[in-house]
Amino acid sequence: MALPTSETAEKPAPLAARVTEIPAVRRGTRPRVLILGGGFAGIHAAKGLAKLPVDITLIDRRNHHTFQPLLYQVALAVLSPANIAQPIRTIFRDQPNIEVLMDEAVGFDLDERRVHTKSGALMEYDYLVVATGSTHSYFGRDDWAPLAPGLKTVEDATEIRRRVLLAFELAERQMVETGRHPPLNFVIIGGGPTGVELAGAISDIAKLYMRHDFRHIDPSMARVLILEGGPRILPSYPEDLSQKAVDQLTHLGVEVHTNTRVTDVRPGYVMTGEQRIDAVVTIWAAGVQASPLGKLLGVETDKRGCVMVDLHLNPAGYPDVFVCGDLAHVVENGRQIPGVAQPAMQMGDHVAQMIGQDIDGKPRTNFHYFDKGDMSTIGRMAAVADVKWPFKAHWGGLPAWATWLVVHIFFLIGFRNRIAVLFEWAYTYFTFSRGARLITGDTALVGWNEQEGVDAATGSKATSPAQSSEAAETSDAVKQPA
């Protein structure tokens, strides 16, 4: 589960204990609650509100809720998208006071309590809950996005899966045609939890799960590199866990390069200063930014576009507007609460509690983040866990991996999803087989024609024996990053 970089902020003053009056509540009418976003915060808010005398409309541009912590397993063919996604309508089919619309907010009139949607509809509300999450940040280099996809949605996951699997298929084909293939280098930019999870999973799939599937190439010879600009990977974790992660990644054959800043991303390679690193697949895991809706609200935001909110989760001057999850900049005890799944779920629950307290005529209470810890999986029987509840511990290896399995099964939405994921994991673990290795969409791979030994005209062979020989030498000695 990924953590953003914390931003320093002054500790907010305690909020006065007073009853918050909303016109609909004062009139005694049934409040209308509009929720934007079907992620962890939005889903939890809707579940809590379903028990109250309110009418709820949940709007999301997709028809499904995605369990994002397991997206990387879809990207590396462990699970299929249906294992980690659930139709939002199905989640709330037994709650008659919740309606679900597949649409997208494009503008706000907070003073008139209205939201403009992409379809042209004008949605009115008594309470507004904005929980539209975050997206990739390429630090001003959006032209890198087609070359180095990030991992936020099911679509991102299936695109990464397509690229990774296609690289092996193209290498097999070229080996048949020419007797040689380019080095299979997979470069992950960013050493946070997402980058670590992707690197370990690519190593696993290459060295364990596909080693007997090809006749002409050896998938286990693939190189996986993490390029981290800071001094250590998993910077939000304690230093001892960062080192345990490095040790486990090294054991899996992953190359970890810290203090290595990527200066350019090109088809088939990345640049770190003057150093070129060839890559058949490049994946972005280096930064996130808030959903654009934060700035559209017209309230104060931080440099990442997160909305500055108080401990009631309201932007200044708008007690009827709640901002939750990755989109909220919440400071508690002088520290910004991280934008990960745990606080998002807790914020959604808190919003439902606040609206309930308004209806009951009780003063609102401050949000408090109950930090149970963080964990990241690295590979088969490899993980790190910073346990903070019910006891404190720093785990690595099998104990952390087993804890990670239990926690993620528990929080998956839908009984069917839990059973399906548990079965897939058990089957994969005992048979070393992955059944979701499907390549869909385009069969061209960005940057493949730019690899050494590949003829750009055909995308499959070297133009001369000399070039083939050069490709073979390159496969044995690929330039190392500085």
Q: How far apart are CA 50 and CA 64, in angstroms?
A: 18
pLDDT in tens, 341-359: 999 999 999 999 999 999 9
pLDDT of residue 412: 79
Provide the 3-class DSSP secondary structure of residue 116.
strand
Please work out, in degrees rounded to the nearest 5, the angle formed at the alpha carbon of residue 436 by the alpha carbons of 225 and 44.
85
Provide the 3-class DSSP secondary structure of residue 91.
helix
Structure tokens at 349: 């629950």
pLDDT of residue 14: 57
pLDDT of residue 97: 97
197 among known catalytic residues: yes
pLDDT in tens, 25-75: 888 899 999 999 999 999 999 999 999 999 999 999 999 999 999 999 999
Buried b / exposed e across 204-225, counting CB within 10 Å, b at 16+? Answer: bbbbbbbeeeeeebebeebbbb
Query: For 418-427, which contacts have Cβ atoms below 8 Å and span 24 or more sequence positions?
Result: 420/82, 420/83, 421/70, 421/79, 421/83, 421/84, 424/78, 424/79, 424/83, 425/78
Q: Which residues in the chain come in under a pLDDT of 50?
A: 1-10, 457-458, 460-482
Contact 200, 377 (CB under 8 A): yes
Element of type H or E holding 425: helix 415-431
pLDDT of residue 468: 37
pLDDT of residue 143: 96
Of the candidates 159, 197, 228, 452, the residue annotated as catalytic is: 197
pLDDT of residue 7: 40
| 131 phi/psi in degrees, rounded to 5 | -145, 60
pTM of the model: 0.87
pLDDT of residue 16: 58
